[in-house]
Amino acid sequence: MTSKPVGIAPPERLGSTRLPDGRMLAWSEWGPADGLPVLLCPGGATSRWLGFGAGAVDALGIRLVSVDRPGLGASDPAPGRTLGDWPDDVSSLATARGLDGLRVVGYSQGAPFALACAAHGVATGASIVSGSGEPAAPELADALAPGVRSMVEAVAADPSAAEAAFAASADADTMWALVTTGCAEPDRAVFRQPAFAAAYRRAVTEGFARGPGGYARDTVLTMGRWPFDTTAITTPVDLWYGEQDTSVFHSPGLSTALADALPTARRHVVAEAGGMLLWTHAEPILRSLVA
């Protein structure tokens, strides 16, 4: 099986913005500099080097911005940061970079970061792509795979110890194997495309450029209780899933609770897609987001 070509291209613009507390937040951009701003909250351990929708962003007039979360890639770390801190960073970036009317896309582990922006009024619209509901929420407990449940329990018992354990077991090679091993055929077909595989591998390598601390902190925040009420989000939210996604972290079965909790949710399940539909179905995802 051969996947249709994915829209992947190197960043057109790279830079960093100094935040009010002095930290640097690194970003990359694609599409017209005066286009409608869409901010990507990348998946686990990946950096600003991996965009999506090359070609579609120009056709739709979208200025796609990807940002390294603190401690990942070229962004300075922020020890002890919370999910509630991320919308403040994004708001500062939006002011500095002129990102008026910002929309957000959260892919996989980036989903709660995008939802935090929606919950804090930083984004005017959101798309969650291959994103789970809140893993630590009681209503999702029975749906979790044993390994994911163990992560949730470890964070609940001792967040600091769990963060140290996540850091000790994570590196670029481990993350690459985690993502590519055992995935469904539609996703294996995406990784067989040399340009995409090279871009993804580079993004993961860059994600660990400052060590595993950024990824470990992200994982603690993702697997712990989210500090916002999803039922109070009034921003329109699209939920996108590939029906053939087999990931224990974000398969379609883990999306029901999230769809039920979001009063504005529109849930899309694509029959022929796997978990990598951010790249195989970028155009409809972006078109719906900016409609």
pLDDT confidence tier of residue 26, bands split at 50, 70 and 90 = very high
Nearest to 20 by CA among 117, 96, 101: 96
Cβ burial 26-60 (10 Å sphere, 16+ → b, else e): bbbbbbeeebbbbbbbbbbbbbbbbbbbbebbeeb
- What pLDDT score was predicted for residue 1? 41
- What pLDDT score was predicted for residue 4? 60
- As a whole-number percent, the residues of the chain with pLDDT over 90 amount to 91
- What pLDDT score was predicted for residue 279? 97
Please check the confidence at residue 5 and state whether its pLDDT lies above 80: no
CA distances to 65, 102, 108, 183 from 98, rounded to whole Å, are: 12, 9, 27, 39
Pairing verdict, β 13-18 and 24-30: antiparallel
- Please list, in sequence order, all residues whose beta carbon lies within 8 angstroms of the beta carbon of residue 27, skipping any fewer than 6 positions away: 14, 15, 16, 17, 48, 65, 66, 67, 68, 93, 97
- Please list, in sequence order, all residues whose beta carbon lies within 8 angstroms of the beta carbon of residue 140, skipping any fewer than 6 positions away: 132, 133, 134, 254, 257
Please check the confidence at residue 257 and state whether its pLDDT lies above 90: no
Please check the confidence at residue 3 and state whether its pLDDT lies above 60: no
Q: Where are the beta strands (DSSP E) in the chain?
A: 13-18, 24-30, 36-41, 62-67, 103-107, 125-129, 237-242, 265-270
**Dist. CA 272–CA 225, nearest whole Å:** 32
Residue appearing with tokens 């044993």: 146
Report the mean per-residue pLDDT for the chain. Answer: 95
Q: Which two tokens stand for residue 143?
A: 């749906």
**pTM here?**
0.96
pLDDT confidence tier of residue 7, bands split at 50, 70 and 90 = confident
Please check the confidence at residue 18 and state whether its pLDDT lies above 60: yes
pLDDT confidence tier of residue 256, bands split at 50, 70 and 90 = confident
Please check the confidence at residue 2 and state whether its pLDDT lies above 60: no
Please check the confidence at residue 10 and state whether its pLDDT lies above 50: yes
177-232 pLDDT, tens digit each? 999 988 999 999 999 999 999 999 999 999 999 999 999 999 999 999 999 999 99
Which amino acid makes up residue 202? R
- What pLDDT score was predicted for residue 268? 96
- What pLDDT score was predicted for residue 189? 95
Overall average pLDDT of the 150-157 stretch: 98
The number of CA neighbours under 13 Å toward the Cβ of 117 is 30
